[in-house]
Chain A
Amino acid sequence: DIQMTQSPSSLSASVGDRVTITCQASHDISKYLNWYQQKPGKAPKLLIYDASNLETGVPSRFSGSGSGTDFTFTISSLQPEDIATYYCQQYDRGFGQGTRLEIK
């Protein structure tokens, strides 16, 4: 059973800021890490797969990196529409605890 530890649980940042979220797996998951964005009342949206590949149509300000057990998700310049909760997911299974992103 692979556990995903995501941090921070919440984050407040200003428009234009660089935002970073981390996710750690309890076992080596190679590159098989996905990142999702969820806005209230909506289904989550896949942003990044295989740790660093941007899903089609996702803005380039979103990026991901990492392999093995340690992964990072970055928004290079925070926009108001990025307010959401972000989740990491290993393979096609378990999720991290989520990071709630707010605007300062």
Chain B
Amino acid sequence: QITLKESGPTLVKPTQTLTLTCTFSGFSLITSGVGVGWIRLPPGKALEWLALIYWDDDKRYSPSLRSRLTITKDTSKNQVVLTMTNMDPVDTATYFCTHSRVPPYSHYGVDVWGQGTTVTVSS
């Protein structure tokens, strides 16, 4: 059974850097076709895709947030870390860690989600 769990601060101040950790089980991020990513849901707004890291260490970022995001993996710890710099109140959201795969190993689409962690940006 695949599970993912997000951890990190619930409150950050404007201009600070947010570091979120996704700890997962039930799969390995060295398995071909696997990706772990981050998606957020601001209150009252739409889902926003942030970043993805794949089994081969390929990394993809949202074009609008690319300059502020870094995604890394630690396969020995089964963890993926997302950092977001220069936080602003508009970054207040629930942040989800996700598991997905890519063709030809499987189909696109997030098949497993973490429970989400709420981050508030306020002074």
Contacts and interface: CB of A to CB of B under 8 A. Distances in A.
B113 A95 contact: no
A43 B100 contact: no
A93 to B, nearest CB: 5
A46 B96 CA distance: 14
Nearest to A91: B108
Give the interface size class of chain A: 20 to 34
Interface class of chain B by DSSP: strand
Interface residues of B, number: 24
Contacts, number: 59
A102 interface: no
Nearest to B110: A46
A1 B100 CA distance: 20
A43 B113 contact: yes
Q: Which of B37, B47, B48 has the most chain A CB atoms closer than 10 A to its own CB?
A: B47
Nearest to B4: A43
B52 interface: yes
Nearest to A98: B46
Contacts of A97: 46
The list of the 4 closest CB pairs from A to B, nearest first, reads: A43-B113, A49-B109, A34-B109, A98-B46
Interface of B: 35, 37, 39, 41, 46-49, 52, 60, 62-63, 96, 100, 102, 107-111, 113-116
